[in-house]
Structure 1
Amino acid sequence: MVRSETITRPDVLRFAPPFKGEPGPDSAQFWADYNSSKLGLGLNLAAPGGREVGLALAEWADVVIEAFTPGVMARFGLAYEDLVAVHPDLIMLSTCMNGQDGPRATFAGYGTVMAPMSGFSNLTGWPDRAPSTPYGAYTDFVCQRICATALIAAIDHHRRTGEGQHLDVAQYEGALQFLAPWLLDVELNGRLAERDGNRSPWAAPHGVFRCLDGAWPEGGGEGVRERWVAIAAETEGQWDALRAAIRMPELDDPRFASLAARKANEDELETIVAAFTATRTREEVVALLQPDVVAAPVNDPYDLLEDPQLLHRGYLVELEHTVMGPVRYQGPEATLSATPMTLSKAAPALGEDTRHVLGELLGYSESEIDELVAAGTVEVFAP
């Protein structure tokens, strides 16, 4: 996979922490973690000759993915119609906030704006507080799974028919797929869901409860290291197992005899469970409840980096980055028996693979590459 970008308009994540060493476009691990196993091409599409390199790249590629505001690719002379002129069976995916057409096609913003617009913020938080929002550019994260699924379908279609196509994935529409139950509840029953903290209509208790504070690892954080555990009892069997495990006679009260009763007295129920967890470590609570009760530690990043399950499955992979040196990356999210996936390289520094891409993949000569570098059309990483 080749990622094309330019230092004149760098990806904003290249300047987002955390950094390893001095802050800069090639030391941002946030960006790097999302871009492992890619070749980095420094290409300024707006510079003289940029369009021609873009067309050569599209002619070589099986799939082109772009996330510009609608109309930008056309202004570069690289709209879908331009690309299929040189590669008739090309698959192209365009993804943006509202899609390629419509009254808000050019709406400016990021996933941090789209999450509230899609309805997530209205459902996130506590009923007595203002709307909150999921972490980060939420729709940027979840909608890429829809992009991947759409691409798999298009590639399958191409293999069977030889036909390419242009895919238009709007984050707005994709995000709503994750709110289907709430949309249907309004449509069918006229019932509007509201913010309810960590609670669930189908489980009680259902929340996070504080345990005894823990110690930071050597060189870790400052102040108190809070430790929490998530607990949920959805079935009567899980509820009975919870009562048997923590052995608090208060839970035998008729107020908690059914899910409906527990929901009606949820404040009192949570107070009792919180009193139990407050006297024990997080590990003690999880060991006591699992596997009969749904319970899990609320991990912080230190926990995740040393999690025995992740380490056992080899999910965190150390790679050697050109600037940052050895850094651990998140690995493949699925283990395939017949076609195992591996990370082939660390994320590229900006322009790190320009000469390789142009020369080995696109067939440019060294002198042609030098001319493009001199013209500012392409950029080459210089340590």
Structure 2
Amino acid sequence: MTQTTNYIVPIAEIIPDLNYSSLISMLNLIGKQTGIAKIKTSRFAWNIFLSGGDIAFIEERNEFFVSLKRKLKIHKLHIRPDILEILAKAPANSLETCHLLGEIYEQDRDVSLIVFKEILLENLLAIALEKNFSLEWRPWTSEPKVILPIWQLSDLENAVAKVVKQWQAFNHVRHPFQTVQLLDTECSISQIPLFAQVTNGKYRISEIADHFQQHISRTALKLDKLAENRTVAILPLPKRSPAINPRDSEQESEIISELSHRRSGSPKVMIVDDSPVLLKQFGDLLTSWGYQLILINDSAQATQKMLSEKPAVVFMDINMPNLNGFELLKQIRRQPTLAATPLVLVTSENSITNNFRAKWASCRFLSKPHTANDIKDFREQVRAVLQELAPLP
């Protein structure tokens, strides 16, 4: 069946600056066409497969296969290894992906329906909680023969709208793709191995829900309450690169080049923390200010790296495996060439004991932000420390 070329939505043209309502309106305007709607925000990117104007599945780039494989395992749907192997290598938004998903669906329609719907609704929730979108519509010239469950856009929109209201009422949780960092390692829930495993700053709330086999909103509600009690911190979402609008890429490259030139004469700042998420977020902040960065996720390597790189100041976590912050501090101070290097202990445990031990060791002490409201104060404290200890030229 050949499709008409008379489209209301422009083909292969990026439409920027859409809010969620206008995005849904644009998807509705596509009508009964079949193809891929590419959606981007400043943080994430999705491919939505539309079949006859309705949604068959949503693929979050770089995460779709991981999420699919995890959910298939949870629901005990055993797929032929060759299908998963091919699917892992299939290009994003390809017709091959659609056919492979169709094969999975044919193997067990009931279980596949549950898995596909979970992925679809989680991604629609994530999209609904974003703000600024770009849309690119790419129809297929002929109707592909793919067997997949199809959901009407209006039904999905209504189902997600109810969940969005619940999420917007949370005090700390904002998005299903946020990660969670355990703060209170002495509380009873932290003694549960699975909980400690998924609250190390690496697992999304959607992943945590899967590990506990709970509805994502129920998991979010519990985490929101734990964040209120400062048992955990709900970490901010990272930025995605490159920018939404590709027309900005040339200008962005010039800016990056200029910043790199400026940083070549800027002070080096080392950050030592075992959390990749916190390393990236803290690192992105200092990079935006113009500092050269040295990021260390293994505290046992920090002293040797300091000897070779000679940073102007070092920010270090206290609770780290292999070598905690105080042990690392002693190791650093034993090195004559590092004895005068400014050290700043950064921890979620703002206790009198930790403050005293930091002062005793001639270190600064900063408390990690527990909530989104604390982030501004934390940034101001970091900036003040850097202006004093490692001012920019």
TM-score > 0.5 by shorter chain = no
Larger radius of gyration: 1
Higher relative contact order (CA 8 A, sep 6+): 1
Quick check: which one's helix share is greater? Answer: 2
